[in-house]
Structure 1
Amino acid sequence: MFKTTLLMGLMTGLMLLIGDYIGGSSGMTVMLAFSLISNAVIYWYSDKLVISQYNAQPVDAKSAPMLYGIVQGLAQRAQLPMPRIYVIDTVLPNAFATGRNPEHAAVCVTTGLMELLEPREIAGVLGHEMSHVKHDDILISTIAAGMAGIISVMARFAFWFGGDRDDRRNNPIAGVLMLVLTPLAAAIIQLAISRTREYMADYTGGQFSGDPDALADALAKIESYARTRTMPRATEATAHMFIISPFSAKDAQALFSTHPATEKRIERLRAEAQQMRQAGTIQPLV
């Protein structure tokens, strides 16, 4: 909750700067009211907005029995409520989790992930996502996605409508800085919060699935596809939510990756698997 409060405070501060640029003290007052409303909406509804953005469709035990069974088994191992399950129709393999708490969590996978990965690898990926649910990372990442999206929109609004002072309004450099630096600041906040949690989610995901090697294999496969193609509907504001960045290596967004190097993640998972083999605790879910 401290991290969530800090994140919302920082994002609100950025929005106040935009308000000051647009309309001085009156602009800051309007933006303060807008940010408070935005915070409330994002807290309660940002998961639905993200799911809707990717046109994810709900599935259940009848429509996706294998997927449902894996998630159900992981939820039992992690001692978590059964999350809602959604599928995104795209050939690119990827996945993310969202929601404000474990009781309102949802996991989303792509059709490409189900088609290209083996069941044991899918279990590893979903173990990673269930770790995010277990450690309340989904609240922080979902709020970050909503706030970053709003700030990016407001920064563009500030660029086109200028400020309340003539020198600002007639200064194109100030407008460009507002357009570029504010979304960048939002992205840096995302990066600082999300990168440090991916290693923990990998480790715990390996424990939940009982097979860290499977997650390592899955990351290698997903990375091989992600390097060449950007996922449809992907935005900078939601990139940090996926297990692997949805942007190709050629895109400018790769310069501000919200994820640690995949090679480092795989290396750690291999070491975890070796330790589990030595301890005799390898127990694959699938």
Structure 2
Amino acid sequence: MYKRSRSNITRTVLTLGGTIGLVVLVASLWGRTALFVGLGIALLLTGYAYYSSNRLVLKAMRARPVSQPEQPVLYRIVKELALAARQPMPRIYVSPTIAPNAFATGRTPRNAAVCCTAGILELLDERELRAVLGHQLARIYNRDTLLLSIAGALSGTVSLIGILGYTAPIVADDDQPNPLAVLFMAILGPVAAIFVRVPVSSSIYQHADADSADLTDDPLALASALRKLETGVKAAPLAPEAAIVTQAHLLMVNPFRDGDGISRLFLRHTPIADRVRFLEEMAERG
């Protein structure tokens, strides 16, 4: 378990370095002065992504920290799993949204946080919740959250103008989106999605599933949880809001309705059916 930590740290460094290089390269086309301006912007962008990345998804999901008396079961499960993994215990948050989901964020295990929505706490039984939390802790200890959080922060910064323009209540006379906003999104959306789709492999979810199954010794519990989450998301999907779209890859399952607009560009989740099949095969192998 937790063998991908070094690889994810390397990929994070390459992602940040690649971002700086790309911005500087584009800026250099306008001359030496623009090159230095571009370098400054690139350093600010990557610095912001690194130091703010762990807070963005918590803010987007309106999550708040909870104490042991508030969530005794949730607190106990996380503590037991962290002890079993011989790793630091993350901070615990709860999001008020009814859409069932969970996520983890943080640059290192010592400043990490794990969050469950109100919807998932109502939907899953304790065995299934334990498996989902095992998945989230696996992401933290493998430094998946480092890579995922920074990729989301970079993507969110690039796409902010385009997504806000696309979703802003500025419409033409025929109730169609503002043509200028659509143009911004057509250009910036795919560029922003690159920051998620290039460094973040869809296999990251399956690897964390496997680590959760090893940690809890219960792959079928996670398979059951994923089936419930798939049904739950269909019943209560999140709206593809600007702040959430670029952070959605951090969530346990795709939080949007299938085919929801710009969100399709950013999705990296492995299909639920494939993840369930993988877990059932693990259970059969014992």
Shorter-chain TM-score: what band? 0.7 to 0.9
Q: Aligned to 2:279, what secondary structure does the other structure show?
A: helix
Letter in 1 for 2:227: A
TM-score, length basis structure 1: 0.82
Residue 42 (1) aligns with residue 49 (2): yes
Which residue does the alignment assign to 2:16?
A: 8
1:279 maps to what in 2?
Answer: none
Q: Partners of 2:205 and 2:254 in 1: how far apart? A: 12
Cα offset, 1:255, TM superposition: 5.8
- 1:227 aligns to what SS in structure 2? helix
Displacement of 1:25: 5.5
How far apart are the structure 1 equivalents of 2:220 and 2:163?
44
In the alignment, structure 1 residue 242 sits paired with structure 2 residue 242:
no
- Verify the 8 A CA contact 1:228 1:249 in the aligned structure 2: no
Could you tell me how far apart the structure 2 residues matched to 1:36 and 1:141 are? 19
**SS at 2:245 equivalent:** coil
Report deviation, 1:53: 2.2
Residue type of the alignment partner of 1:40: G
Equivalent of 1:224 in 213, 221, 231: 231
Which 10-residue stretch deviates more, 3-12 or 74-83? 3-12
In the TM superposition, 1:47-62 aligns within 5 A as 47-62=54-69
Q: Look up the match of 2:117.
A: 110
Provide, for residues 220-278 of structure 1, a one-character-per-residue CA deviation record: whole Å limited to 9, x for no partner.
111112235432556221011001011111403236521111100000001112222xx
Maintained 8 Å contact 2:20/2:42: yes
Distance in 1 (alpha carbons) for counterparts of 2:185 and 2:23: 12
Q: How does 1:64-83 map to 2 (within 5 A)?
A: 64-83=71-90
Aligned pairs for 1:148-163 within 5 A: 148-153=155-160
Change (3 A) 1:256 1:50: closer
C-alpha distance in 1 between matches for 2:139 and 2:193 = 20
Of 125, 147, 150, the match for 2:132: 125
RMSD: 2.8
CA contact (8 A) 1:194 1:240 kept: no
What TM-score results when the alignment is normalised by the length of structure 2?
Answer: 0.82
Alignment partner, residue 196 of structure 1: 203
Cα distance per residue 1:29-68 (max 9 Å; x no partner): 3232122122223212221232122210101211100000
Distance 1:267 1:254 in 2: 24
Amino acid at match of 1:184: P
Aligned-partner residue type, residue 119 of structure 1:
E
> Cα 1:254–1:179, aligned 2, differ >3 Å: closer, same or farther?
closer
